[in-house]
Amino acid sequence: MNIKKLVQKEVLDISCYEVKTILEQKPDNQLVKMNLNENFAVSSEPVKKLLLDACQRVDVRAYPPPRGSLAVKAISDFLGLSPSEVAVANGADEVMDLLMKVFVRKGSKVMVAEPTFPMYTFFAELYGGKEVTVMLKEDFSLDVDAILNKVDKQTRLLFVCSPNNPTGNQFRESDIKRLLNEFKGIVVVDEAYVDFASGSVIDWIPDYDNLAVLRSFSKAFGLAGLRLGYLVSSKQVINYVQRVVGPFNVNSVTQQTVALALQNWNYFKEQLDLVVNEREWLMENLKQIDGLKPYPSDANFILFKVTAANLSSATLTEQLEKRNVLVKDRGQLPLLENCIRVTVGTRNMNQAFISALKASLEE
């Protein structure tokens, strides 16, 4: 049978989103994983304890609370918002998918401030949407005029990632406010890394019905394997998002665990401070190495440019991998020629990275 003939055009046009894993070749514990912005400053024991506590409270023979309502209640209480202003899904990635389901079909446009997280484009194209990009300025700030000049009636969503992956900077509040005031579509502010920065736009939710804030438990809470992301927005937007969610989309163990994690916020907050300290340590060490130029960061990763003669970011990434240190080569992205993104790890991880980096540069 010609299966291909049955498949929708949008699916034929995209390929499976590749995540490079080299676990097949090397056991996990030999690798220094600094490529996916996970958070290993959160120790595994307290997290395991939360998970076990959650398992004790849950009867997995029963379906989970519908549309993640247990997690929604815990998150909205934590933020001081109404449950009707929050929706949850399996990771912030899936929240993006839900937003596209609500707002994007063939003929719709999705505006993205590049270089940024690639999943906005991935999901937009899956629903037949057209991605329209506007470059960040040289200093990685938003080019608000260029964005506003390029949006039109077909532009349903505008994605702004703040702090931005992979540049690391948080955008100016005044720029985001201008977008909210002047763009007649939904402004999605992806705040996956906001806990490592100093401000958030979440307090503006009552003032703008076109603001949608994306958050994740994968970063500050170190719960990337659990898969929980959420959307905070106006009641109207949340209501439409809830229409496209399956009734039992988030499993009961995940819902309980994030509820317990929020009760233990003080613990996670302390770990955040550790990450911020380590970020400073890493930044100072990177600055001292000739042939590299690190950029300031408000997130749990640092972007740096390889300026050493005759060395590309791709080659340096490979050399680090040979030394069991995984980082993300971003050198192929616009504006980011020869740049590498490295996740802030524990002191041991950061030291291992700096040693491997020095050895690779001397090679």
Ligand X SMILES: Cc1ncc(COP(=O)(O)O)c(C=O)c1O
Binding residues for ligand X (CB under 6 A):
37, 91-93, 117, 161, 165, 190, 192, 216, 218, 224, 229
Rounded distance between C-alpha atoms, residue 188 and residue 157, angstroms: 7
213 closest CA partner among 221, 205, 224: 205
Give me the least distance between CB of 292 and ligand X, in Å please. Answer: 22
Q: Which of 164, 360 has the CB closer to ligand X? A: 164
- CA 262-195-68 angle, 5° bins: 40
Q: Which two tokens stand for residue 233?
A: 């927005």
SS (H, E, C) 233-258: ECHHHHHHHHHCCCCCCCCHHHHHHH
Nearer to ligand X, 279 or 360 (CB): 279
Determine the Cα–Cα distance for residues 201 and 205; give it in Å rounded to an integer: 8
Are 131 and 124 in contact by the 8 Å Cβ rule? The answer is yes
CB-nearer residue toward ligand X: 224 or 283: 224
Q: Residue 280 has which token pair?
A: 């400073």
Q: Which helix (H) or strand (E) segment is 49 a member of?
A: helix 44-57
Across the chain, the runs of DSSP E, i.e. the strands, are: 32-33, 86-89, 109-114, 130-135, 155-161, 186-190, 211-216, 229-233, 292-294, 301-306, 325-326, 328-329, 339-343
- Kindly state the smallest distance separating residue 214's Cβ from ligand X, in Å: 6
Residue of closest CB approach to ligand X: 91
User: Residue 301 in 3-state DSSP?
Assistant: strand
- Minimum gap (Å) between residue 161 Cβ and ligand X: 5
* CB 9, min distance to ligand X, A: 26
Identity of the residue, 212 or 354, whose beta carbon is nearer to ligand X in the bound complex? 212
Which of residues 190 and 278 has its CB atom nearest to ligand X in the complex? Answer: 190
CB of 244 to ligand X, least distance (A): 17
In the complex, the smallest distance separating the C-beta of residue 11 from ligand X, rounded to whole angstroms, is 21
- Least separation in angstroms between CB 92 and ligand X: 4
Q: Which is nearer to ligand X, 190 or 298 (CB)?
A: 190
Q: Residue 185 or residue 229: which is nearer to ligand X going by CB?
A: 229
On whether the CB atoms of residues 300 and 293 are closer than 8 A, the answer is: no
